[in-house]
Amino acid sequence: MNNSNFLSKELVNTFAYTTATKNRDAYTNVCINGRNYIKLGTLQAVTIVGNLYKVNNNGNIEYVLLAGMSKQHPCDSKVNKEMGYELANENANTNPFLIMKVSRNFAKTAFVNMMANYIDSMKLEFVKTTQEILAEGIDKEIYDR
């Protein structure tokens, strides 16, 4: 793949997976003043877009997947799915977190299964409440849409 000519790549397919429409409720154990509590909250929304390209590698045709990700900011209480898709697609083109050679028959189900497992293994933060944002001294107007 080192000799691949990405200047003549051809976009074959685009895949997307998001947790914005999924149930993201979670809990974690926290220790405050020596007492253990269970903290309930909603995890950040994550969106991943994968672009599948056909690339000419010295006469051999190869298929390469470039995936980009966007994550909801913990202070942003509202999810904007369109912005998530747009940022993830931009990151897939400019700063992909995954570059992978795949088979010609790579399908959306394989992409969704891979990305769902990847997101499940990520360390995500809870979306902050208004009281948490104000306690940290963050200007709520910046994130309140």
pLDDT (tens digit, 9 = 90+) per residue, 75-131? 888 888 999 999 999 999 999 999 999 999 999 999 999 999 999 999 999 998 888
Question: What are the residue ranges spanned by the domains of the chain?
Answer: 5-143
Matching residue, tokens 């993201």: 24
List, in order, residues 6 or more apart from 1 with CB less than 8 Å away: 57, 62, 64, 101
pTM over 0.95: no
pLDDT score of 145 more than 70:
no
Residue 47, Cβ density class (10 Å: 0-12 exposed, 13-18 middle, ≥19 buried): buried
pLDDT score of 140 more than 70:
no
